[in-house]
Amino acid sequence: MKAMTLKSFGGPESFELSEVPKPVPQAGQVLVRVHATSVNPLDYQVRRGDYRDYVPLPAITGHDVSGVVEAVGPGGKVFAPGDEVWYTPQIFDGPGSYAEYHVADENIIGRKPKSLSHLEAASLSLVGGTAWEALVSRAALRVGESILIHGGAGGVGHVAIQVAKAIGAKVFTTVREDNFDFARSIGADVVIDYRKEDYIDAIMRETDGRGVDVVFDTLGGDTLTHSPKVLAQLGRVVSIVDIAQPQNLIEAWGKNASLHFVFTRQNQGKLDELSTLVERGQLRPHVGAVYSLADLSLAHALLETPNNGVRGKIAIAVEPSAGTARASEYPSKFTSNVQP
């Protein structure tokens, strides 16, 4: 099978299109023909060597799968060949999704929502699971509460807005002005252009000085230092960013705040919950660009470009038909030069 292999840690050019053996499912596993995957900040962090102690080279990386079951390992009873599935491969535990086939344990796999294409499903599995764990499992966001979502037009952010609205929260988000309409279209109640206005002033004005119940950090930097300034008493801050620089948490102490740090865990139950929201029409991932598997390096380079103008996710059409059927929606970014 064809796969994009990471030969050395470094820039986007570190991937190489290779021919590697097709994996064989063992007991409790299924073999999936990957139709689509996507790129995430986690993917370029792995590629550049942030987790080099956990990733022996050469490696097949990638953390989203949407595809079709091709074979079932001994004793498998949950899935059958032909089932459409989606999931996040177990991080740092075996090959990833940048390949034509992938083997996974049955207990982390979900049935793909019927209303989503493979490109859309592959753009939701990791970010959807991350948003769900951050807002539901950790922050315990409730009906009638308020939340500030930093980076609401990004991969995780645009999903978090929709999950928060489905819960029944009031959503504040920071985006560039050219993303105002997009953020509002997916449920944001108050949008703040972080380049033109201090979000702390805006939040305190909009909440009459009370602040918000939850802050969701998707950006890093000094967000943990400043976000507690907009928290209500007993508020919660959830961050999905590994931040190396020291943070001043005195404001969090003054608000009796709780802080949560999330590194997504694979879980079939989360996928099922997300599928329910999708089928209810409360959640849909936005695919901002599509590349072929062979052009994975271009996708990584685009994702790492500051202010790249991409809304939502960058998807990878591993099976060419997954992208060509919808290529007209993404004409500026789509290329297809991988043959099955």
- Is 278 inside any structural domain? no
What's the CA gap between 340 and 331, in Å, rounded?
A: 22
Question: Bridge-partner residues for 245, per DSSP?
Answer: none
- Is 270 inside any structural domain? no
Q: What is the mean pLDDT of the chain?
A: 91
- Domain shared by 148 and 254, yes or no: yes
- β 110-111/146-150 pair status: unpaired
Whose tokens are 């207990």? That residue is 107
- Domain shared by 199 and 133, yes or no: yes
- Domain shared by 205 and 231, yes or no: yes
Whose tokens are 């037009």? That residue is 153
Residue 299's CATH number: 3.90.180.10
What's the CA gap between 81 and 60, in Å, rounded?
A: 24
- Domain shared by 114 and 136, yes or no: no
pLDDT grade, residue 327 (50/70/90)?
Answer: very low
Per the CB < 8 A criterion, the answer to whether 106 and 271 are in contact is no
Task: At 30, list the tokens.
Answer: 């299924």
| Exposure b/e, 306-325, CB count within 10 A at least 16 = b | eeeebbbbbbbbbbbebbee
Question: Quick one: average pLDDT of 134-145?
Answer: 97
Per the CB < 8 A criterion, the answer to whether 224 and 249 are in contact is yes
- Domain shared by 94 and 16, yes or no: yes
Q: Which residues contact 205 (CB under 8 A, 6 or more apart)?
A: none
- Is 267 inside any structural domain? no
pLDDT grade, residue 122 (50/70/90)?
Answer: very high
Task: At 124, list the tokens.
Answer: 């939701």
What's the CA gap between 152 and 243, in Å, rounded?
A: 19
Number of separate domains in the chain = 2
Last residue of a domain, one of 261, 276, 294: 261
pLDDT grade, residue 323 (50/70/90)?
Answer: low
- Domain shared by 137 and 256, yes or no: yes
Last residue of a domain, one of 261, 276, 303: 261
| Of 162, 163, 172, residue with least CA distance to 135 | 163
What's the CA gap between 165 and 112, in Å, rounded?
A: 22
pLDDT tens across 70-119, in order?
A: 999 998 889 999 999 999 999 888 999 999 999 999 999 999 999 999 99
pLDDT tens across 163-203, in order?
A: 999 999 999 999 999 999 999 999 999 999 989 999 999 99
- Domain shared by 119 and 132, yes or no: no
Q: Residue 234 is inside which H or E element, if any?
A: strand 231-239
Last residue of a domain, one of 261, 276, 293: 261
Q: Residue 190 is inside which H or E element, if any?
A: strand 190-193
Lowest mean pLDDT among 127-131, 206-210, 243-247: 243-247
Residue 211's CATH number: 3.40.50.720
- Is 338 inside any structural domain? no
- Is 38 inside any structural domain? yes
* Domain boundaries, position 116: 2-124+285-329
- Domain shared by 151 and 67, yes or no: no
- Is 273 inside any structural domain? no
- Domain shared by 245 and 185, yes or no: yes
pLDDT tens across 229-254, in order?
A: 999 999 999 999 887 778 888 889 99
- Domain shared by 173 and 94, yes or no: no
- Domain shared by 132 and 232, yes or no: yes
What's the CA gap between 303 and 41, in Å, rounded?
A: 8
Q: Residue 253 is inside which H or E element, if any?
A: helix 250-254
- Is 57 inside any structural domain? yes
| pLDDT for res 339 | 28
Task: At 332, list the tokens.
Answer: 């500026």
**For residue 262, what is the DSSP state?**
-
| Exposure b/e, 8-29, CB count within 10 A at least 16 = b | ebeebebbebeeeeebebeebb
- Domain shared by 175 and 290, yes or no: no
- Is 275 inside any structural domain? no
Identify whether 58 is preceded by a cis peptide bond (ω within 30 of 0): yes
What's the CA gap between 130 and 108, in Å, rounded?
A: 14
> Quick check: 329 pLDDT over 70?
no
